Amino acid sequence: MYKILMCVFSPQIYNEIHHGFLEAGCDVKDLFIGEEFIKRPDLLEAALSSALDEFRPDFVYSYGWWKDIADIDAFLDIIKRRGIFHVWWSADDPTCFGLASLPPAKRSDLVFTPVEELIPEYAKYGVKAYLQPNACSPHHIKLPPKAEYLHDMALVANNYSMRYVDEETKRSIHYKFRVEGIYQTLKPLVDARKDVKVWGRWWTDFDRAYMLPTAFYGGVLPTEEVPYVYASAKIALGIQQVGVSQTYVSSRTYEALGCGAFHITQYSPGVENYFKKGVHLEWSRSPEETLELANFYLAHDSLREAIALNGQREVDEKHRLIHRAQSVLAVILQYIPK
């Protein structure tokens, strides 16, 4: 099987896709390109050159927020000089298609995107793009509950919006749909003083489009604790980042379901495309529906648990990272025979 050098820009948004390739039988080496590389092209060249020369990969697979971190052209030049096949995963599509996805995509041998609707857009630039949706990592599995996370409802997510807030509306520009989801899915439960706890970054910051009352905030969780939150809450809440794609679903939805949680999320076309309402999960289109769903399922334990089990099985059968890696490898096999 393939040897893959995986280059991850801004490791704080690390996706764990390498686990899918490992499960698929590949040999994977990670190179994290973070803040220490800012304004240090010499350090980038030394680290990347060393990894390429020592590991001798069949191809390089890269993704992440490279802007403000590294010169993407210099990065790709190092790979191109060695004649190594380069794959770019545009994980930030569609939000940052022109800003962060297209520049490396135009110089890559192959591109994957979680947004199928953008494949024709890439083709306009002569870019060969294929679908690679988000998925659930092998670390997100059903675990025993922990007392400190026992709540009726829980949300694990970051409160993005500071960087691109419209001064007039106080709403996020790049994350407009996500902010709408907060107001639709989380705020009505908080306003009703329900037993809901939120973990993640920036929820109590005053410059956000929504500022969570401190009584509902749990802080920032270590990654390994997230499955325990999903095991302990009766309902795992979700918000979606993209509302214009049939194939984009937040990783948190896959992870919550993969951990065996009953999941209520903001409606999106992607969620409807991959899952069935009332069978695998529930989605809400309004604050009023969120309250109705929460009250109903908190009063119906057996139905809630049956739906949670269906959702877990659906993810285990179709939406784990190994499924995504196998699809990617099937495409790469057309370009790099083994």
Q: Tens digit of pLDDT for each residue in 112-127?
A: 999 999 999 999 999 9
Q: What was the pLDDT predicted at 225?
A: 96
Q: What is the pTM of this model?
A: 0.93
Q: Tens digit of pLDDT for each residue in 131-169?
A: 999 999 999 999 999 999 999 999 999 998 655 544 554
Largest CA distance in the chain: 62
- Give the rounded percent of residues in the chain with a pLDDT score beyond 70: 94
Q: Determine if residue 108 is left, alpha or beta; phi over 0 gives left, psi from -120 to 50 gives alpha, anything else beta.
A: beta
Q: What is the Cα–Cα distance from 52 to 85, expressed in whole angstroms?
A: 12
Query: H/E element holding 8?
Result: strand 3-9
Lowest-pLDDT range, 29-43, 135-149, 285-299? 29-43
Q: What was the pLDDT predicted at 297?
A: 98
Indicate if the alpha-carbon torsion angle 146, 149, 155, 161 is positive or negative. negative
Q: Is the pLDDT of residue 285 over 70?
A: yes
Q: What was the pLDDT predicted at 321?
A: 96
